[in-house]
Amino acid sequence: MFSAWWLELMVQGGLVLVIGAAVTLVALWLRDLSRRRLW
Amino acid sequence: MSEGSGLLLSPELGWALLAVFSVLWVALGLYWGRRARSLDGFMVAGRNVGLALGAATAMATWVTSNTTMLAPQFALELGVWGMLAYSTASLGLFLFAPLAARIRALMPEGYTSAEFIELRYGRAAWAVFMVLSLFYALTWLVSMGMAGGLLIEALTGIDYAYGMTVVLAVCVAYTVGGGLFAVIGTDFIQSVVVLVGLAVVTIFVLDKVSVAEVHASLTVERPMLLSVLFPAALIALFNNLLFGLGEVFHSNVWWSRAFAMREGVGSRAYLLAGVMWLPVPVVAGFLGLAAPALGIGVARPDMVAPVVAGTLLGEAGAVLVFVVVFSSIASSIDSLLAATSDLLTKEVVARYLLPGAGAERLRRVAGWTVVGTGVFAWAVCLPKVGTLATVLFFAGPMVASMIWPILAGLYWRRATAAGAVLGMVGGTGVGLWVYVSVGWYAASLASALVSAVLVVGATLASSSQFSFERLREGRA
């Protein structure tokens, strides 16, 4: 059986990654925009 | 929550949200359409897309309503392995990363995946590939169109036909207006919306019930969902993995992005997209697991995520879910419209119907094929035939059969046309038979295995050598 610890790791870790992904996308967008390298 | 009706949102609010986002997407599409006047601009966004937009578009396109709606259903029905099985589809993005770089290097002026197949394997393989590829693309497009109508109806009470029509019409409008520029630009916004929306709902859920409480509740009431050895879920895991690989490896949706990204960006963008996509079905799946612990009864398993959000956050949560689902559907529909239009324009119209047409004429044709594809999808969606999963999973064995012909074609000089054709046809045939006789959860697995044996076997039996330089030369 998946332990509570594993489930906690998956869910909390997943949430951190989701938030991190949003932050990363916006940061990269700002970086590319400042360098005029968006597209 | 719309009082008394059982709906999460009132139809009036639903129409208002549809109107706001429709105007937003179409306006942006027309704005970015200024860049999409040329054929290259329309089809491959000028071949200069950077890392931010490249990663966002790859991630957003792979986040469909299935990711946010089916992943919780998988978790509710197959437990922890269900949501992990869904997340294995991220491997498609990870493993496409080196392919994206290879494709860009081998075909710097390329437009479609079918073009590669013909240059690499010849006309027969191209024909088989086109049939399978178009079937998959149209199947996915129809499933997304249906999902749009069904979800809007379930959330707001707006009639399926109206909701579906609005979703498809909006996506057609901004894709025609701005081509791949509009698709990629809106994908960026949609990806941030999905990630932020999912994070907010999950934080609210965790505020009401901890992971430990969910685990404790499941241990007592539904211990099977926590089982490490859940055979059906394990088979589904590998099946989903191969389904995902097949989808990404063959589909022009991903190849067009590989052509669109600036040199050196493709592999990093797909790797980053994989990392960003991986947690989405896990976090969304948790909403499904949390429902029993929260005491939330769910009549329809595919509605567990909106019901949980709506119950905990009220109307604000329902609006958030609506926006997230609309974004995830639109980010896939626009990509399918653009990629399918590219295939039809370059592979059918330019080759057989208007062989002497110049780039300017083909640019206009591309816009019309987007419209035609959208109208076709609308006509198939209208009668509402089949469930969401049924429509999409039928394509699983077809796409899984193309993994090995694509891989071998890109990297193995000795890979032969006969192997590619046998792999696609044999894999599809066996896979569909398994789909009908055994179940959907093993069909892609069977298809990929048979295809691998046929591709490798035919190649080992041959001594021919392909020169990859021929791909750079393009078609005569």
For residue A18, list chain B residues with Cβ-Cβ distance below 8 A: 195, 198-199, 202, 279-280, 283
Determine what percent of chain B is predicted with pLDDT higher than 70: 96
Tell me the mean pLDDT in the region B136-164: 91
Chain B, 68 to 87: residues with Cβ < 8 Å from chain A are: 79-80, 84
Q: Per residue in B348-376, pLDDT tens?
A: 999 999 999 999 999 999 999 999 999 99
pLDDT at B315: 86
Helices B252-260 & B90-106 angle (0-180, nearest 10): 50
- CA–CA distance, B448 with B434 (Å, rounded to integer): 12
Tell me the mean pLDDT in the region B132-150: 91
pLDDT at B393: 72
Q: Per residue in B439-459, pLDDT tens?
A: 888 899 999 999 999 999 999
With a cut of 0.90, is the ipTM above it? yes
pLDDT profile of chain A (39 residues), mean per 10: 91 96 97 95
What's the pTM value of the predicted model, to 2 decimals?
0.93
HEC readout, B189-251: HHHHHHHHHHHHHHHHHHHHCCHHHHHHHHHHHCHHHHCCCCHHHHHHHHHHHHHHHHHHHHC
- CA–CA distance, B58 with B261 (Å, rounded to integer): 11
Cβ separation of B282 and A14 shorter than 8 Å?
Answer: yes
For residue B50, list chain A residues with Cβ-Cβ distance below 8 A: 32, 37-39
- CA–CA distance, B256 with B309 (Å, rounded to integer): 35
- CA–CA distance, B96 with B448 (Å, rounded to integer): 17
Q: What are phi and psi of B299, to 5 degrees?
A: -70, -40
pLDDT at B70: 82
Mean pLDDT value across chain B: 91
pLDDT at B3: 47
pLDDT at B387: 57
B140: nearest Cα among B78, B61, B86? B61
Q: Is A4 on the interface with B (CB under 8 A)?
A: yes
Cβ separation of B195 and A25 shorter than 8 Å?
Answer: yes
Q: Is A23 on the interface with B (CB under 8 A)?
A: no
pLDDT at B388 over 60: no
Contact at 8 Å (CB) between B310 and B322?
no
Of A11, A15, A29, the CB nearest to B52: A29
- CA–CA distance, B90 with B237 (Å, rounded to integer): 12
Least confident of B12-16, B43-47, B85-89, B205-209: B85-89
Tell me the mean pLDDT in the region B396-416: 96
